[in-house]
Structure 1
Amino acid sequence: MPPELIMNLDMFAQQLKSVQGRLANLYQDANTPVQPETDLLLAFLKELDTVSKRLEIVTEKLFEQTQKLGDVQARLREEYKRYQDLLEFIPNAYLVSDTQGKIQSANYATAALFNVQQRFLVNKPLACFIPVEERHAFRCQLNQIYECECDYIQEWILRIQPRDCEPFEAAMTVALIRDVKGKLTGLRWMVRDMAHIWQQPQSALLI
């Protein structure tokens, strides 16, 4: 929540508390013969008018902040949708996993490369698509990431085992995802079939 909105909410709460205190005092004064009844009524109406105007101002500010927050959220959703669309249509397999290698999201190219429907990739361990005899080495490489203090992109060459297909050699690019505190929260992967890379013209490889 934006600091301005929090500040306005605090102000709103203080105004309500102030209203309650003043009304309690006025009711108490109304039960004593110190002031004439008319004077008490005028004082009461004046207090209500002042507090009402203050609360109206706070309410307007809260409404403005809520609108701004809604606009920001809409822009973020729009940017996220654009980002997802870009990833969906890139020719290379791109996926995001947690720190244990469990897939959180994957584009269409990943589904085609792994021969699995896109919706079935989520929550599957990436190790499921590594040949059984090579999974231990893959997990060892994955564990080494935790010991890495640098955020440089790593390049791995290993075999991928698609569903019901022959394994193939792949180039995997691995990048670390950290939160604002620097804690490792996930991994970004790009997977390319080495056979397709070797088949590209030399000029294309240099681009």
Structure 2
Amino acid sequence: MRQAQGQPLSPERAVLIEAFHEVEATLEELSVVEEELRRQNEELADARGVIEAERQRYRHLFDFAPNGYLVTDASGLILEANHAVSIMLNIAPRNLQRKPLATYLNLGDKGVLYQRLNALESGEQRVDFDVQVTPRGGAAFDVSIAASPGPQDAFGAPTFLWVLQDITERKRIAAKLAAGAAETEQRAARQTTQLSAAYEHPRRFAETLQLVRASHLPIDDPALQLYSGAEAAPEEAQAGGVFSDAFPLDGRVALLAGEVVVDDGVGNGLAAAVYASHVRFLLRAFLNQGMDGGLALSQLSDSIETARSRGDWSANTAVSLSLVVAEKSSHRIQVFSAGTETFLLRPSGAADAIPCQGAILGVSPGARYEPVTDTLAHGDMAVLATSGFTQARRTGNPLEMEGLARLAQQAVSDGDGLDIIGSAIQRGLREYAGGQLHHDACILIARRV
């Protein structure tokens, strides 16, 4: 029977209605959850498809890579091998699984393999080594191996990744290149011996022309010490167009250092040595006639130009030099320069630069040379050097006169004897140039004591 209209529901009926509504709400929620699960399953299926495609792609790359790829366990047991390894060892990939890698190495290389495995187990991130591999039914050949730790397997055990590359052709080419290099060295040695023999006579003659050094000449001035040094470029004759000289005059002392210039470079060899000797002795003659330094250099410049015009000197040859004339009584000095620079070094370490005052000898008819005048106090040094010092290079940067002055300042701080100072300057030059001078170098130092 129906309940009369307007009468309240019985408790039992109210409970049933409420339960019905709750079931209805739960069904709606389950429907939403079901739809969400369906969507997630579709996304998972799509992701699984992408992952599988990626796995297949990387598997393809692994299998068909041009180099041999292996995966082993910690004992060197092969877990996976690609086709390149299969071809290399002449064994199908499936037949390589669970086989020790050491099986395919020459006996002498097995120990090397296990040493590298131990290194990888100890935390080494990469090992590289060469071995000889013996394929089934074939001859041994050289292989380069690189290995590094791989991901752990499903049981948490370590694995290692290996790359094998056949280096037979590389070694053949290297051996051929080495043989060619050895043959080239032997040929060069033979040619060097032949050239040295052919050059021996003019070299000795050039050295004889250059034997007269300032340190061998008496200057008749007990208040003046001299140091003369030279550095020979490794690939050039020991003597040539670079020179220094010192000689007494009437109440004066002359000091000079210079070089024969050929096509903007320093001349070397027999002809340059002859020109250098000509310059030294001609300048001596002019100064001994009572000429002052400026007039002597002007006369020398004109003489060189005349010798060139007569064909006695090469058309592209000139001379650069520094000349210092010191008065014995007053120790007053006059510094003349022809295309060169020099400097005075004080006992305090200060270096006073004397810039170039005149043109290179033999290039300007009627050229004049004016002196820079100074006085040598006790301990003062006049430093004359050729461009072999100032143009010595380190990574393309020349030492220049400022660098030479720094070498001299350092040498003075290291020792007091003039021989010690001069030797230290030359040692500094060799160190700066890395032992590779571009051409011969000459230095002359005069110190008042």
- When residues 167 and 45 of structure 1 are mapped into structure 2, their CA distance, relative to the original with a 3 A threshold, is same
- Give how far 1:199 is off: 5.1
Partner of residue 54, structure 1: 29
- Give how far 1:178 is off: 4.0
- When residues 117 and 178 of structure 1 are mapped into structure 2, their CA distance, relative to the original with a 3 A threshold, is closer
1:174 match: secondary structure: strand
> 1:41-69 CA distances to partner (integer Å, 9 max, x unpaired)?
21121110111111222222222222212
> 2:114 is matched with which residue: 121, 139, 147?
139
2:158 match: secondary structure: strand
> 1:43 is matched with which residue: 10, 18, 21?
18
More helix by share: 1
1:112 and 2:87 matched = yes
Sequence identity percentage: 26
Partner of residue 64, structure 1: 39
- When residues 118 and 82 of structure 1 are mapped into structure 2, their CA distance, relative to the original with a 3 A threshold, is same
CA contact 1:176–1:184 (8 Å) conserved in 2: no
Partner of residue 274, structure 2: none
- Give how far 1:196 is off: 2.8
CA contact 1:174–1:189 (8 Å) conserved in 2: yes
Mapping of residues 168-187 of structure 1, within 5 Å? 168-178=141-151, 185-187=158-160
Mapping of residues 51-130 of structure 1, within 5 Å? 51-130=26-105
Partner of residue 4, structure 1: none
TM-score by length of 2: 0.34
- CA RMSD in angstroms comes to 2.4
More strand by share: 2
Q: Size of the alignment, in residue pairs?
A: 163
- When residues 95 and 125 of structure 1 are mapped into structure 2, their CA distance, relative to the original with a 3 A threshold, is same
Mapping of residues 3-14 of structure 1, within 5 Å? none
- d(CA) in 1 for partners of 2:59 and 2:151? 19
- Give how far 1:82 is off: 0.8
> 1:165-195 CA distances to partner (integer Å, 9 max, x unpaired)?
222221001122246xxx8832111111221
- Give how far 1:140 is off: 2.1
Bigger Cα Rg: 2
- d(CA) in 2 for partners of 1:190 and 1:115? 17
Partner of residue 161, structure 1: 134
CA contact 2:143–2:164 (8 Å) conserved in 1: yes
- d(CA) in 2 for partners of 1:200 and 1:95? 27
Partner of residue 397, structure 2: none
CA contact 1:177–1:184 (8 Å) conserved in 2: no
Q: What residue identity is the alignment partner of 2:41?
A: T
- d(CA) in 2 for partners of 1:197 and 1:128? 25
1:195 and 2:168 matched = yes
TM-score by length of 1: 0.69
2:162 match: secondary structure: strand
Partner of residue 204, structure 1: none
- Give how far 1:148 is off: 2.5
Superposed structure 1 runs of 4+ greater than 6 Å apart: none
Q: What residue identity is the alignment partner of 2:116?
A: Q
2:74 match: secondary structure: coil
- When residues 135 and 35 of structure 1 are mapped into structure 2, their CA distance, relative to the original with a 3 A threshold, is farther
- When residues 148 and 51 of structure 1 are mapped into structure 2, their CA distance, relative to the original with a 3 A threshold, is same
- d(CA) in 1 for partners of 2:28 and 2:93? 56
- Give how far 1:200 is off: 6.8
Q: What residue identity is the alignment partner of 2:162?
A: W
2:150 match: secondary structure: strand
- Give how far 1:136 is off: 2.9
CA contact 2:130–2:142 (8 Å) conserved in 1: yes
- When residues 35 and 157 of structure 1 are mapped into structure 2, their CA distance, relative to the original with a 3 A threshold, is farther
